[in-house]
Amino acid sequence: MVRERDDIVALDSSIILHPAVWDASGHASGFSDPLVDCRFCKRRYRADQLDEAQCGQKPSKHPGETEQCDLTEPRQFNLMFSTRIGPLEETGQDAYLRPETAQGIFVNFKNVAQIARRKPPFGIAQIGKAFRNEITPGNFIFRTLEFEQMEMEYFVPPPAAEEWFRYWVDQRVAWHRRYGIRESHLRVREHEPEELSHYSSATSDIEYLFPIGWSELEGIAHRGDYDLTAHTNASGTKLEWVDGDERYTPEVVEPALGVNRSMLAFMVDAYDEEVVADRERTVLRLHPALAPVKVAVLPLIPRNEEMVGKARALYEELRRVLVAEYDDSGQIGRRYRRQDEIGTPYALTVDEQTLEDDTVTIRDRDSLAQERIGIAGARALVLDRLVADWTTPKTG
C-alpha cells in the first residue's frame, strides 16, 4: 500500500488522544454497545447478541428464555478505554486510547498534505495498536481488548468518490488474492442501509471462510466528508484542499483491516498436508512476502567442520538482507520438514560437493525441486526469486 504506490504515504500517530477528538468524531457519543443485565443471575449480555449467549441458569437456553430471567432495558456502554493525564484525580484531564487509528490520520490531514506535498487523490496509511473495551472479549483472536490495525484514508475530489470506493473494494480483494487467499474462501458483503455506521454512506466487508465460518477481515467504507467536516467544525481549522481557486473538502474512502485476523486467514489458507514418496508432510504454503523466514541454510553433515564453516559463512551473508535461519540439528529430512512447517520458501544445503566446487543445492518448498547453484551468486539468486514470487500473484 505504501512502498509500491506513489499516492500513499505512511504515518505513525499517537495512541492517547484528547477527548475533543472523540467528541468531534462521534466516538464519545456513538461508539458503544447495548448491554442488558439479568437481575436474577446478575450476568451481563450484549443486547444484540442474546441469540449467541447462554442463560446463566440454564445454559441450554438463551438469556430471556427462562421464567427466572429478568433482563433490564438495554443501556449503551462506550467501548473506548479512558485514562487520566496528570498525576491527580481532581486536576487530571480525561484522555482515551484510540479504538481505531483513523482519527489520528484525519486530524493530521493538513500537516501531511503540506509536508508530503500531495494533492487529492492521495492516501495516508498507518499500522498500529488499537484498543476496545469489549464487553465479551474472547472468541480466539476475533475479539481482543488490544489488537493491531491497518487503516488507509484515501482523500478524493467529491465527484470521484463513488468511483474510488468501487476501485478500493476491487483493489483490496485483489490484495488478499495476491497473498494467497483462494477465491472460494473470500467474499464481499455489502452492508444493508440499516447496518451502516453513522459516518458511512456505503460499506463493503471482505469476509473469509474460516473453519468456524465466514468472518470479517476488512471493511471498506465510503466515509464521504464526514470526518474532515466534523474536525473542521470542532477545531475551527479548515481541513480542506486549497490550490489556487480550487477549494473543497475531500471525501474519504477507507480500507480498514484487522492484522491479527488476516494473518490467521493467511495461515489457515496456506496450511496443507500431503503425501510425498509415501511420507506425510505438513507444509505452510505462505506467500514468500508473508513467510517469517525467507531462506534456511543447512549443512548436510553437521559434524563436518568444513561444511559447517561454509554454511555459516553463507548464512551470515544472507541474513544481512533477508530473515534467514541456520539449522544443524537432526537429519536433513527432518530439517527440511521443520522449514516446510513454518513456510520457508527456500532451503540451501551445503554438502560434499560444495567442498569441491563451491555449489549448493537450493530446494523449493512447494515443488520440492532441487538444483545446484554457485555459492557466490546465491544471495542474488534467492533475492531475484523472492522478488519474482512477490510480483506474481499466488492464487489457488
Q: Which three cell numbers stand for residue 29?
A: 457519543
How many residues bind a copy of itself, per CB under 8 A? 37
From the list 40, 81, 248, 271, which residue makes contact with a copy of itself (rule: CB under 8 A)?
A: 81
* Crossing angle for the helix pair 378-391 and 305-318, to the nearest 10 degrees: 50
Instruction: Determine, following the binding rule CB under 8 A, whether residue 330 of this chain makes contact with a copy of itself.
Output: no
Looking at beta carbons only, is 137 or 396 nearer to a copy of itself? 137
Say how far apart CA 345 and CA 382 lie, in whole Å: 10
Smallest distance, Å, CB 317 to a copy of itself? 8
Q: Which three cell numbers stand for residue 171?
A: 483493489
Looking at beta carbons only, is 228 or 314 nearer to a copy of itself? 314
Instruction: Determine, following the binding rule CB under 8 A, whether residue 139 of this chain makes contact with a copy of itself.
Output: no
Instruction: Determine, following the binding rule CB under 8 A, whether residue 391 of this chain makes contact with a copy of itself.
Output: yes
Considering only residues 143 to 162 of the shown chain, the ones binding a copy of itself according to CB under 8 A are: 145-146
Looking at beta carbons only, is 355 or 388 nearer to a copy of itself? 388
Instruction: Determine, following the binding rule CB under 8 A, whether residue 77 of this chain makes contact with a copy of itself.
Output: yes
Distances (CA, A) of 104 to 59, 109, 127, 242: 43, 9, 11, 21
Looking at beta carbons only, is 234 or 259 nearer to a copy of itself? 259
Distances (CA, A) of 15 to 136, 137, 349: 23, 21, 46
Four-residue CA torsion sign, 307, 309, 314, 319: positive
Say how far apart CA 232 and CA 320 lie, in whole Å: 47
Considering only residues 364 to 383 of the shown chain, the ones binding a copy of itself according to CB under 8 A are: 380, 383
Question: Interface with a copy of itself by CB under 8 A: which range of 165-173, 213-221, 302-310, 317-325?
Answer: 317-325
Instruction: Determine, following the binding rule CB under 8 A, whether residue 323 of this chain makes contact with a copy of itself.
Output: yes
From the list 18, 26, 28, 35, which residue makes contact with a copy of itself (rule: CB under 8 A)?
A: 35
Smallest distance, Å, CB 133 to a copy of itself? 6
* Nearest residue to 297 (alpha-carbon basis) of 335, 345, 348, 337: 348
Question: Interface with a copy of itself by CB under 8 A: which range of 57-65, 263-271, 319-327, 345-353?
Answer: 319-327
Question: Interface with a copy of itself by CB under 8 A: which range of 3-11, 231-239, 260-268, 273-281?
Answer: 3-11
Whether the CB-CB separation of 114 and 123 falls below 8 Å is answered with no
Instruction: Determine, following the binding rule CB under 8 A, whether residue 140 of this chain makes contact with a copy of itself.
Output: no
Whether the CB-CB separation of 315 and 328 falls below 8 Å is answered with no
Q: For 278-297, b where at least 16 C-beta lie within 10 A, e where not — what string?
A: eeebebbbbbbebbebbbbb
Phi and psi, residue 185, nearest 5°? -100, 5
- Local structure of residue 52 (DSSP, 8 states): G
Instruction: Determine, following the binding rule CB under 8 A, whether residue 306 of this chain makes contact with a copy of itself.
Output: no
From the list 7, 54, 72, 129, which residue makes contact with a copy of itself (rule: CB under 8 A)?
A: 129
x/- site string to a copy of itself, residues 15 to 34, per CB under 8 A? Answer: xx----------------x-
Smallest distance, Å, CB 42 to a copy of itself? 9
Looking at beta carbons only, is 86 or 309 nearer to a copy of itself? 86
* Nearest residue to 49 (alpha-carbon basis) of 58, 40, 39, 62: 62
Smallest distance, Å, CB 254 to a copy of itself? 23
Looking at beta carbons only, is 185 or 312 nearer to a copy of itself? 312
* Nearest residue to 215 (alpha-carbon basis) of 153, 285, 140: 140
* Nearest residue to 172 (alpha-carbon basis) of 120, 148, 207, 215: 207
Smallest distance, Å, CB 23 to a copy of itself? 19
Whether the CB-CB separation of 64 and 71 falls below 8 Å is answered with yes
Number of H helices, E strands in the chain: 11, 22
Instruction: Determine, following the binding rule CB under 8 A, whether residue 97 of this chain makes contact with a copy of itself.
Output: yes
Q: What does the binding site for a copy of itself look like in residue numbers (CB under 8 A)? A: 3-4, 6, 14-16, 33, 35, 44, 77-78, 81-88, 91, 97, 129, 131, 133, 135, 145-146, 319-321, 323, 326, 380, 383, 387, 390-391
